[in-house]
Structure formats: structure tokens, C-alpha cells
Amino acid sequence: MEIPGEYFVRVILVILMLGSVLMSSSAAEPQQLNLMPMPVSVQMQTGQLVIDPSFSVGISGQSDAQLQRAVERFLNDLRRQTGMPPLDMKVTSPVQAKLMVHREHESKAVQEVGEDESYSLEISTAGAKLDAVTTLGIMRGLETFLQLVQTTSDGFAAPAITIHDKPRFPWRGLMIDVSRHFIPLDTLKRNLDGMAAVKLNVFHWHLSDNQGFRVESKKFPKLTEMGSDGLFYTQDEVRDLIAYAHDRGIRIVPEFDMPGHSTAWFVGYPELASGPGPYQIERKWGVFDPAMNPAEERTYKFLDSFIGEMANLFPDQYFHIGGDEVNGKEWDANPNIQMFVHAHGLKTNQDLQAYFNTRVQKIVSKHGKIMVGWDEILRPDLPKNIVVQSWRGQDSLAAAARQGYRGILSYGYYLDLMWPASRHYAVDPMGDGAANLTPEEKQRILGGEACMWSEYVSPENLDSRIWPRAAAVAERLWSSQDVTDVSSMYERLENVSRWLDWLGLTHNSSYGTMLRRIAGSNDISSLQTFTDVVEPVKDYTREEIATVEATSLSPLNRVIDAARPGSDTARHFADLVDALMGDQADSNAKQEVRTLLIRWRDNQANLQALETQSFLLREIVPLSRDLSAVAATGLQALDYLDRGERAPDAWATQQFALLAEAQKPKAQLLLMIVPSVQKLVEASSGQKAPSPQK
């Protein structure tokens, strides 16, 4: 039986709802499949392949060093996953192998967009076969295999299964901004491991911005000497990371943002700028005035030399020049630039930027690269081979595609906005305006990129801002468009999240250490109970409601910096509340809801003991009181429901006011259980809560 991915997901869900955790009736079968991203086609077979110390991998046909390293890495991951010693699980001759790996030819020395990543994986009780056209396909298939291995009653095992898989989009990226906060190499490496685990294939390295220039230039050493606070990557380190990424089937696309977002360049090279200078490394966030001078030939001479150097350092075919958010103020204020504008018959600053982009594009092209830039670069005078990265949305992307330009979507994938995974998951590069494109135009939409802007991230909490949510974006970009079941996504996301722990990602492990620092104590139970049900405010609200302006000097040690972008606890609570109010009132759910509400109601009393002890706790006291009050409201509503008694209108009105107050951000945090408790109050009173006032 050949079944498409989405159908398969539904099958899993039905089985789960029936209360079984098994894919088949045999008790020896592993649990549900934790695959993420979901493959294109999955065909279950009977039985399972036991993975024991004798497990071995054979490579049939021709091999090369990259393939061998991929297999070795796979074996290391498998050893770590199973706790087998390094002496077990070997690369062996094809005849004896439990897993036969075969690929038709090696991958390109420099990984290309659209290079074949497809694979077929066939697992039977006797052994497994992994076939692919390229080494890239083998890497993807090996990750799938790892996700299939589970602890079962018979040992570690992978279920008998046939999978045919390939990505929906060729460009599946993660951007990390290392300018606003510097991110050390080892932190990037573990994030590349995470990317490979969920089949992302582009690391977009945002290397320069107003707040720092992060890569060594031998031609222009003052870029880092004066523009980085000493926090930058040497060229050797860059080469090291590129090799690391290449081994994992990940391209590295460097971005040097220009002509705006470039203050850090001007600290060492003020002659590049449009203003008089001098310039200093920017410590604040936002759009600033400094911009390169597009009217001076020396700017292009500099860029020619610089881009030439970087084009050599970064082997990828694509080169990102940013090109976003120029406010034009320095251009307006510079008489020479204004003369230049008139002399060239340009009308607006946009025209001037287009002129700049055209010049830069020629330089990028001269050095053998294809230019990538944000929406703003798009002007019809640029050649059709450039790529537009859209923060504006699918309509903007579609418009570009209609003009013949290729594009990638980042609108909807900004991880720094603290959206829940479900919201990112719902955004499709082919949605909205892109849905009506012709098949030929659709080909021009290459994929998307999750973006991690780093105003509020440090090496300590970066992972928890990226993971596990980036895995939901990875599935969107790899799996069929109709794989959209949110419950299934979350179910598998929680598994992926725990699975990423093995790779050394710290999104889970740093939570406790951060909370212990905040509490000033090893006993964090009440603080964690609180933090588990709050989320950082969304979008750009953190800035908008800040009482003290945040800068790159602000410590990121507050509860908001530890709190997770998506509260699993609040989400589970919402599911339980829905279950208890459903047609078949679920008495287990009701009991669990009550237990949770009691814990939350009593939590403030416990948290109080810590308050006097830690300055970092003080700001959450009002919200912690809200949590207790809201939980008490929920318990009262539950009592009314239990007694089958309609709650009085006056009571309901009072509770709605309390809930509306509790829904307001405090300490830049949101209390995520409020909507569910509101449902309980509505159900118990028959009243509807008033719509929130804007």
C-alpha cells in the first residue's frame, strides 16, 4: 500500500486517538514514527530491523571521502543514540552489511542549488538498503534512518518500511545574524548539526551589520580591528565552518549587508560612508542613517576588492548583499550625492539604491557569483539570475516570479518574533499571491529561510530561540504542501526537540541553568512552574514596551530570555480544556485540568520565598500573582461546571475583567493559560467574554 505523507500522518493520529502508541498490533513494533520532516511516501511493512552491536554499514560501488565521513558520522550518532561503544557498529564489506548504502555518483565539490537530494530507504527484518543519486541523498536518508531507530521491547530497532523521499524545495535555509550578538563557532557548529538532522541545506550567515563586522578581511583589516570589538571569525575559522557544513550537505551563503546596515564598516573605513563621520559601532537596535556612498567610485573600487576576497573565501555560487532598509538620510544630507543624483537623472533614493545595486551586481557577477538580496533590491534593470529573499511575503515573491526572478521566502519565518511553531508552520511559500502562479513561475520560488535576528540572543539562549521551531519550518520546506496537521506536527516536534539533545543542542539543557541563575537557588520548582506557562511578547513588542532601551550591552538573563517562544504546557492545557468541554466530556481531562489549576493557584505562595532573594525575580511578581488569580478563577468555573450550576453573570463579568488584565504583558511576558481559562468561564456562565479593546 503506497500512501502519501499527509494521509499517513492522519493514520498515525487516528491510531494515537485510539489510545494505542503502536503502529501495528505486534507488541514488538516500535512506537509511532518520529519522522520530521515527513517523507513524500511511506509504506509500512511487517516487523522490524533490530539494531545491535553487530550492526554494520556497507558502501556498494564507488565511494569517496565525503560519503565515508557521512557514514562514520551516522554510526557515531547511532552509537550515541543507543549507548553502544565506539568499537561496535562498523563500516564493513557490502556482503555482511546490515545497511547497504549505494549512490550513483558523488556530490558536487561545491554544493549546488537543486542538486539531487532524493533517496529511497527500504528496511526489512533482515536488513536495510539506502539508495540515492548523490551523496547528499545518502545524508538525508541516513538522518531518516536515525529518526526511525527506537527503543523497543526487543532492543533498539527500526520498523520495516519503504520510504521514497525528496525535497519539495531546493533552498531550505536558516539565517543566523552574528552581528548584533556575536555567536562563537562551536555554537554555530551544533546548530549546523541540528540543521542537518532536519534536512535544512542552506546556512545563511549574516556577517555584517551596524553592530559588528564579523569576518576577517586581509585586504581591509580595519573592518574587524575597529568594527568587531574583537569578536570575529578568522578566515581559517570560516573555511573550517564551510567544510563542516559541506560535510553535512549544507551550503553557506555569506551576507554582507550594503549599502545600509553598514555602520560597522565605517568605523575603520569612514571614506566608504555618505556622512562626515566619525563612526562608532552601533549598540542599539533599529534602522540607522549611515549608508555607503553610491556616488563615489572609491566605494565600488573598495567593494570590488572586498567582494573579490570574499568570493574566494566562500565557495558557494550565491553571494548575499543585503540591500534592505536604507533610510536615505545621509544621502539627502550630502550635497555631492545630491549632485550625483541630478546628474544621473535619478528621481528617488530608491533609484539611487537601484543604481548602487546594479553596480554591485556587476562586481558580484565579475567574481563569479550570483547576487542575492532582500526585497528592496528588486528592480527590473537587474539581470534575471539574481535571487530575491522576501521579508515582505508571498505577494512580493510572486510579483518577482512573474518578472522572471527567483525568490526565497522569509516572511513568516522570523524566529525572533517569538511566534509559536504552528504559526510558522502555516506559512507556505506557495500560499497567498504565489498560489496563482503558472507552473513555470512557481519553479522560480526556490524555497525559504528561517531567520534568527540576534537582538536578544546570546550563545546561551540562541538554541532555544531556533529549536525546535526551525524543524517545523524545515518540514514546511521539505514535505508535501498538504502535510499541515498541527497536532501531528507538535507531537513529532516534541520528539525532535528531545532528539536534538543528543546532538549537543542546548535549547533544553540551558533552561534549567538559566532559571537557577534567576532564582539564585537550586530549587527552581516554583519558578519553572511559572516560566513553563509564559512566553515572551511577540513581534517587536519587546522593544515597543521596554521601559529601558535595550542595547548590545544589556544582559540577557531575565525570565523573558529563558522563557520559551512556545509554551508546551499551555498548549497541552488548552487541549485538555477543549477535551473536557467536548461532546464526550473527558473526565480524565477534567482531573488533569484541576490538578494543573491547583498547582498554579498555589504557585505564587511558593515563588514568594524566592522573591526577596533575587533581583531578577522581582519583575515577574505581578504576573505570578496573575497566574494564581487566573488559576483560582479557572477552579471556580470548574466547580460551577461540576455542580451543573450556571455561574452568576456578575461573577462572570468580574472574571472577564480579571482575565483581560492578566492578558496584558508584564515583564514583557504573556501568560498563556488565559484564553483557556476564559473558555472555562464562558462555558460555566454561558456568557461571552467582551472583545479586547484596541
* Contacts with a copy of itself, residue ranges (CB under 8 A): 21, 27, 31, 53, 80-88, 150-155, 181-182, 229, 231, 458, 460, 494-495, 498, 501-502, 509, 512-514, 516-522, 552-557, 561, 612-616, 618
Q: How far apart are CA 354 and CA 367, in angstroms?
A: 20
Between 281 and 408, CB nearer to a copy of itself: 281
| List of E strands, 503-634 | 534-536
Q: At closest approach, how far in Å is the CB of 81 from a copy of itself?
A: 7
Between 283 and 402, CB nearer to a copy of itself: 283
Between 366 and 618, CB nearer to a copy of itself: 618
Whether residue 325 lies in the annotated active site: yes
Query: What separation in angstroms does the CA of 403 have from each of 319, 371, 395, 433?
Result: 21, 16, 12, 14
Q: At closest approach, how far in Å is the CB of 500 from a copy of itself?
A: 11
Cβ-count burial 469-500 (b if 16+ within 10 Å, e if not): bbbbbbbbbbbbeebbbbebbbbbbebbbebb
Give the alpha-carbon dihedral of 190, 33, 155, 143, to 10 degrees: -30
| List of E strands, 479-557 | 534-536
Q: How far apart are CA 174 and CA 201, in angstroms?
A: 8
Alpha-carbon torsion (271, 274, 276, 279), positive or negative:
negative
Q: At closest approach, how far in Å is the CB of 385 from a copy of itself?
A: 40
* Beta-strand pair 3-4/41-51: antiparallel
- Residue of 287, 329, 264 lying closest to 337 (CA atoms): 329
Half-sphere exposure of 468 (CA within 13 A, CB side): 25
Between 236 and 297, CB nearer to a copy of itself: 236
DSSP H helices, 367-408, are 394-402
Alpha-carbon radius of gyration of the chain: 27
Between 120 and 552, CB nearer to a copy of itself: 552
Between 618 and 646, CB nearer to a copy of itself: 618
Q: At closest approach, how far in Å is the CB of 88 from a copy of itself?
A: 6
Residue carrying C-alpha cell 477543549: 578
Alpha-carbon torsion (548, 552, 558, 561), positive or negative:
positive
Q: Is 536 helix (H, G, I), strand (E, B) or coil?
A: strand
Q: Count H helices, E strands: the chain?
A: 26, 20
Catalytic residue among 325, 460, 619, 661: 325
Cβ-count burial 403-426 (b if 16+ within 10 Å, e if not): eebbbbbbbbbbbbbbbbbbbbbe
Q: How far apart are CA 405 and CA 383, in angstroms?
A: 9
Burial class of residue 630 in the structure, from the number of CB atoms within 10 Å of its CB (0-12 exposed, 13-18 middle, 19+ buried)? buried
Q: How far apart are CA 251 and CA 447, in angstroms?
A: 14
Q: How far apart are CA 373 and CA 250, in angstroms?
A: 20
Backbone angles phi, psi at 467, to 5 degrees: -110, 145
Q: Which residues pair with 389 in a beta bridge?
A: 374, 408
Helix (H) or strand (E) holding 144: helix 135-148
Query: What separation in angstroms does the CA of 239 have from each of 222, 250, 325?
Result: 21, 14, 30
Q: At closest approach, how far in Å is the CB of 674 from a copy of itself?
A: 27
Between 57 and 671, CB nearer to a copy of itself: 57
C-alpha cell read off for 104: 550513483
Which residues are annotated as catalytic?
A: 325
